[in-house]
Amino acid sequence: MRHLLSAGEIDRDQAVLILDTAAELGAVTDRSIKKLPTLRGRTVVNLFYEDSTRTRISFEAAAKRLSADVLNFSAKGSSVSKGESLKDTALTLQAMGADAVVLRHGSSGAAHRLAHAGWIDASVINAGDGTHEHPTQALLDAFTIRRHLAPEGGDLAGLSVAIVGDILHSRVARSNVHLLTTLGARVTLVAPPTLIPVGVESWPCAVSYELDPVLDSVDAIMMLRVQSERMQAAYFPSALEYSRLYGLDAARLSRLPEHAIVLHPGPMNRGMEISADVADSSRAVMVEQVANGVNVRMAVLYLLLAGDGKDAG
């Protein structure tokens, strides 16, 4: 694999390899000195055109734990605000000797363009492109689900996962549908009809317009934020009504099977898609998701860069 652009292009064996590698590299996190020399002399650029907390910081932590040099580029405060194009920014990064570019961009397809336009030699990792994909988020979600519900390793065959909320604007949902089904899980998308994408019939998952009927049969439930910043219209009558029909509160939590876990990619809107008591409950694994994100991103950087034939020093 030269780039990581889409969860849809990862096959089962590649996914299991990434998860197993993340588990092995995660052992470094438990040491007092959290560092391996594996990517010494390599340069990883975090190229972020959209805001991020978890993804940017965890890619930086992952690259540093593998001893890579890290350059952080945020569009805000850069020459992008003077009109510089993605191409000219990419050529600048090429001149800086980037070996990997971690790209977050508001346009769906931006990572694919950067990888295949011939502007740079670096590996490109999609850290979220518009409403399209966020493959490392899906990998860290799968890693977290596996750790809780299939701790013996392998894939997620037989597990049932509900993804609830603003599917229409969610790159996390699309990447998770691809990856979780590749790993053998059954996925059900839950949302009001207005927040389900056109063409969802071709996705390898079930769809429910109601949350309550799916609660007692899930092993994991992933709550998604309503992405108001991507909405130009009203997709539901009110926040209160949305929360009443699709929010996960303590009453609904009590109806999940005892072993079921609650995920959220963050950032959360407490009181909207998830109540504060559920977010803080022992069934919620959001903090683990963030920690696992570092392990998974270490694995992705390692697999893309450590075996590419260049001298890592």
**Binding residue for ligand CP (CB under 6 A) from 38, 52, 160, 269?**
52
Expressed in angstroms, the distance from the first to the final Cα of the chain is 21
Of 49-57, 61-69, 227-235, 245-253, the segment contacting ligand CP by CB under 6 A is: 49-57
Site string for ligand CP, 107-136 (x = CB under 6 A): ---------------------x--------
- Report the alpha-carbon distance of residue 176 to residue 82 in Å, rounded: 36
- Report the alpha-carbon distance of residue 177 to residue 296 in Å, rounded: 18
DSSP state of 112: H
Residue 37 CB, nearest approach to ligand CP (Å): 27
- Report the alpha-carbon distance of residue 202 to residue 205 in Å, rounded: 8
Any contact of residue 55 with ligand CP (CB under 6 A)? yes
Asked about 87 being catalytic, the answer comes back as no
Residue 311 CB, nearest approach to ligand CP (Å): 32
Residue 91 CB, nearest approach to ligand CP (Å): 26
- Report the alpha-carbon distance of residue 6 to residue 265 in Å, rounded: 17
Strand, coil or helix: 300:
helix
Q: Which of 293, 169, 284, 178 is nearest to 231 (CA)?
A: 169
Q: How many CB atoms lie within 10 A of CB 10?
A: 24
Number of residues that bind ligand CP (CB under 6 A): 9
DSSP state of 71: E
Which residues between 255 and 274 bind ligand CP (CB under 6 A)? 265-267
Site string for ligand CP, 207-246 (x = CB under 6 A): ----------------------------------------
2 φ, ψ (degrees, to nearest 5): -100, -35
Residue 41 CB, nearest approach to ligand CP (Å): 27
Q: Which is nearer to ligand CP, 94 or 227 (CB)?
A: 227
Which residues between 137 and 166 bind ligand CP (CB under 6 A)? 137
Q: Which is nearer to ligand CP, 175 or 275 (CB)?
A: 175
Catalytic residue selected from 55, 131, 144, 182: 55
Asked about 134 being catalytic, the answer comes back as yes
Cα 74 to chain center, whole Å? 19
Amino acid at 191: A
Question: In the block, which residue shows the tokens 């092995």?
Answer: 24
- Which residue number is nearest to ligand CP in terms of Cβ? 55
Residue 266 CB, nearest approach to ligand CP (Å): 5
- Report the alpha-carbon distance of residue 301 to residue 281 in Å, rounded: 33
Amino acid at 224: L
For the annotated catalytic residues, the residue numbers are 54-55, 82, 104, 134
Residues making contact with ligand CP (CB under 6 A): 52-55, 128, 137, 265-267
